[in-house]
């Protein structure tokens, strides 16, 4: 509840200041500022999506021998520090997990992108919590002899962005980014030589500061995998 309490205090101060200087000109300028921030944020999200798609297309186009790899979509939940993030501490998460290696390499290069989001309305204020992660590192994948089962483990550096926002009469938000670590493990089955279906469990950690308070932006991730193997 720490972030939500700090945000409410900040929101109340902003609300009183808004009342003191409320007039038509200020209202128009404030509306323009909020809309501009929303548009810029959507453009930034679209850029990240486009980059992820371009990365997947590049990797898939390298599937000729002697390369092998996987592009898996992730859908699940992220468990974050409830004391820090409440009430938005139960986000849904979506991601793209990519790994590839030339023949003869014992491990694969891993490049994973994940994003989580949760929102709750309390006391007339809509709280929103958002994180996005880029995890770069390595992954070791084993193939069980005579079967399509592929267990794996991985780890590396985590680059995490975090934002906490409240919206009522106006909008108050803060965001930060941090660098930390990630570890993951899981298992998937490759059906028909190319179709992946499996489970992924991951832990990530990075320190951020929101509204002047330090906390963790990572957490425990768990979800389903659906993807392509070459």
CATH architecture of 2-229: Beta Barrel (2.40)
Q: How is the chain split into domains, by residue range?
A: 2-229
What is the structure's pLDDT at 147? Answer: 87
What is the structure's pLDDT at 152? Answer: 98
Question: Which range is least confidently modeled, 49-53, 169-173, 194-198?
Answer: 49-53
Between CA 203 and CA 98 the distance in angstroms is 17
pLDDT above 90: residue 215: yes
Question: Which range is least confidently modeled, 24-38, 65-79, 141-155, 166-180?
Answer: 24-38
pLDDT above 60: residue 24: no
Q: Residue 20: CB partners within 8 Å, gap ≥ 6?
A: none
CA distances from 35 to 8, 13, 113, 207 (A): 22, 22, 27, 30
E strands of 16-123, at which residues? Answer: 67-79, 92-102, 108-122
The residues with which 223 forms a beta bridge, in sequence order, are 76, 200
What is the structure's pLDDT at 49? Answer: 55
Between CA 59 and CA 219 the distance in angstroms is 28
What is the structure's pLDDT at 19? Answer: 40
What is the structure's pLDDT at 8? Answer: 52
- Residues 126-146 have pLDDT tens digits of 999 999 999 999 999 998 888
Report pTM: 0.77
Q: Are 180 and 160 within 8 A, CB to CB?
A: yes
Residue for token pair 């089962």: 149
What is the structure's pLDDT at 23? Answer: 45
């Amino acid at each position: 509840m720490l972030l939500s309490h700090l945000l409410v205090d900040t929101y109340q101060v902003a609300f009183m200041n808004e009342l003191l200087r409320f007039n038509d000109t200020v209202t128009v300028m404030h509306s323009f500022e909020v809309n501009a921030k929303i548009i810029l944020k959507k453009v930034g999200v679209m850029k990240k999506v486009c980059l992820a798609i371009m990365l997947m297309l590049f990797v898939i186009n390298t599937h000729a021998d002697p390369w092998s790899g996987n592009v898996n979509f992730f859908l699940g939940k992220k468990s974050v520090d409830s004391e820090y993030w409440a009430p938005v501490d139960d986000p849904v998460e979506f991601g793209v997990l990519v790994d590839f290696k030339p023949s003869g390499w014992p491990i694969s290069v891993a490049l994973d992108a994940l994003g989580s989001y949760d929102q709750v309305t309390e006391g007339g204020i809509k709280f929103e919590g958002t994180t996005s992660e880029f995890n770069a590192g390595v992954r070791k994948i084993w193939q069980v002899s005579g079967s399509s089962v592929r267990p794996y483990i991985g780890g590396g550096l985590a680059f995490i962005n975090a934002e906490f926002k409240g919206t009522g009469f106006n909008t108050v938000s803060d965001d930060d980014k941090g660098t930390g670590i990630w570890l993951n493990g899981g298992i998937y089955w490759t059906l028909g030589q190319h179709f992946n279906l499996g489970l992924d469990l991951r832990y990530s950690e990075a320190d951020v500061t929101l509204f002047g308070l330090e906390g963790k932006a990572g957490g425990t991730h768990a979800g389903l995998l659906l993807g392509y193997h070459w």
